[in-house]
Every structure is written in structure tokens, then in C-alpha cells.
Amino acid sequence: MNTINHPIPNAANAHATGQSAGQRASRAQFVASDDKELLRAARDLTKDLAEARDDIYWLDLLTSAGIGYAAMAGAILVSSVPLAVLLGLVSALALYRALMFIHELTHLHRDALPGFRTGWNAMIGVPLLTPSFMYEGVHTLHHKRTQYGTVEDPEYLPLALMKPWSLPLFVLIALLAPVALLFRFAVLVPLGAVLPPVRRMVWQRFSALSINPKFRRRPPEGDMRPRVFRLELAGFVWSWVLIGSVFLLGWRPILIALGIVSFTAVLNQLRTLVAHLWENEGKPMTVTAQFLDSVNVPPPGRIAELWAPVGLRYHALHHLMPSMPYHSLPEAHRRLADKLGLESTYHGANHPGMVVLVGRIARSTMGRR
């Protein structure tokens, strides 16, 4: 039977997708071949959802950035510690949402949303010292059919197969991200301008938002080169404005700002920790296996929208349709879930939440002491 038109209520249907009735689909079942019905459904049911709407992108970005910076200013200015902490939390969550648009920038067609990349860099990328070039040309490697989950994937580590201490270290190292970025732009960028070996080292190892320590970035090409130059120059100037602010405003503003950005970095690292199951040992995978190694955290739960904003709660679905704009993913998920049913391969990538996923990965590492 066709799994597009029917859920899998019996053994005959289950055999068509490599699973038994009532059993959750697993990555191991699709190592050799794809679930063609799933891929066909993803293509056919979502054709009308592929256009990015500039009104949604701009309103979401402007609102998130506005709330984030206003709350940060409030946290710096108020004298009440509890209120400052509350405002800092609001700022971190809002700026985190605005920061996550960097993921959308890597997938948007170059002619879509004119000016959005420039606007995002001006409002978020440069001020938070994470300009778009640090993800553009990097994240797309993670989506390459033959590179996902391999040593050439900048965004993959087999975390579920590593030692138990690797998980807390993976998360806590993100606390240092703001200071490391400030050092990169304030010190390493000008050093690289006069010392070519430093410039090569900085570009290869410290110019990508990656988690794979073996990844080395290739030199920028084409229109990326002048864009990198402009954004590196802007980042250098802004980093020294931040450092210089200490002499004019004291330590309080920059320490609070760094604390807020550190929180966003840790939150993003936690999201990264549960974006995949991290069970691949370096071999190329089919699209279906990549999908099942990735994670959806769909409704009814609402808290996932805070820690996985801008469509990232549908990360597995994103791996099926990387160019689908974030605002279309909820409707795409609804259509696929309704059509395919709870016993389909599609349901195998749906998970209840962060705590359950962290527990699963942690249990996997416990057997590798």
C-alpha cells in the first residue's frame, strides 16, 4: 500500500517503509536506501509554501532586535538586581531569536528579501560579533548528501558515542564565546592584516560557527571576499568601540552585555546538542537516515519556540526541505503529519522535548566510560 495515502496499520504497509507496525522508525533502517514515499510527500505536499515573505522576516527581526536591545539597556540602567536579571533574560531570549536568522540567511536565494542580509548584519551580526560570513558557505556543507555526519561536516560530532564528560564540556565552553569573538575581531583580525600566517589560521579555524574541531575552512571566493573584508573591518571597529566603552562608561555595561550574550551562546549550544541524535560514526547517510538522525520538537509544547526559534524546532523537516522558509515549516509539518500518520517514517523524527533528548544522549554516553 501507499504510505502517503494511509498510515501503517499492518505488516504489509510497515514492510514498505522498513519498520514493523507500531514501531518507531530508526536511522539504521534507512542506511542503504531512502523512504521514497516520504521524500515524494515532502515535495508534493509543500510546493505552495516555498516563497519567503519579506513582511514576516522583517517584522520578526525588527521586533526581536528591538526588544532585545531595549531590555539590555534596561538591565544596564536599573538598580534593582532582580529586575536587571529579568530584563537580562528577556534580552537574551529576544536577541537569541534575532541571532538565529543567520540560519535563514544561509538558505535564502540570493535574490530573495533584498537588503535583509545587510540589515541583519547591521542590527545583529556586527553588534554581536557573529557576521553572516561565519555561517554562509559553512552550514550548506552540513546539508550536502555525501558530507552530512562525516569528518567533512563542520556541524557534526558523534556526541552520543563520546565519553560522558564531553556533553557538559560541549555546553559550558559556549560561555567563553563572547570573549573569544571579541579577541578574534579586536586582536587577531588586525594581526592577520599584517601577518599572512595569522590571517590563514584565523580564517581556517576561527571564522566558522562549527563544532567539528577537524574542520578547516577554505578561502572565500567570488562575491564572498569583499563581503568578508567589509564585515571583518566593521567587526574590528565595533570590537574596539566596546573595549573603549569601559573607559567612558565603566565595566558594568560591557559585563552585563557579555553576560547576556553568553547566555544566548549557551542556549544555542543546548539547542545544538538536541538538534540531532548524533549517532553516526562518520559514514555517508541517505537523506532519510539524515532526517531520522535529526530532530523535530513539534507542538503542542510551546517552550520549544523559545529554545529553538525561527523554525529550528522543525530541524528534521528542515533537512528534508532546506530551502523552505521558517514561517512555512509549521504548516508543512501539519500537512505531512496529517497525511502520513503516527506510524510513518515521518513520525520517527518527532520528539517530545529537550529534557528527553538530553537524557537519551547522556544515557548513550554512559556506556562509553
CA-to-CA dists, residue 102 to 55, 61, 107, 119, 136, angstroms: 17, 11, 9, 12, 8
Residues of the chain where predicted confidence (pLDDT) is lower than 70: 1-23, 27, 368-369
User: Residue 263 corresponds to which cell in the numbers above?
Assistant: 547566555
The pLDDT assigned to 369 comes to: 61
Hunting for cell 576561527 — which residue is that? 206
Q: Which region, left, alpha or beta, applies to residue 260 given φ > 0 means left and ψ of -120 to 50 means alpha?
A: alpha
Give the pLDDT of residue 334: 97
Q: Per residue in 229-287, pLDDT tens?
A: 999 999 999 999 999 999 999 999 999 999 999 999 999 999 999 999 999 888 889 99
Residue spans of the domains in the chain: they are: 26-51+131-369
Whether pTM > 0.75 for this model: the answer is yes
pLDDT at residue 11, rounded to an integer: 32
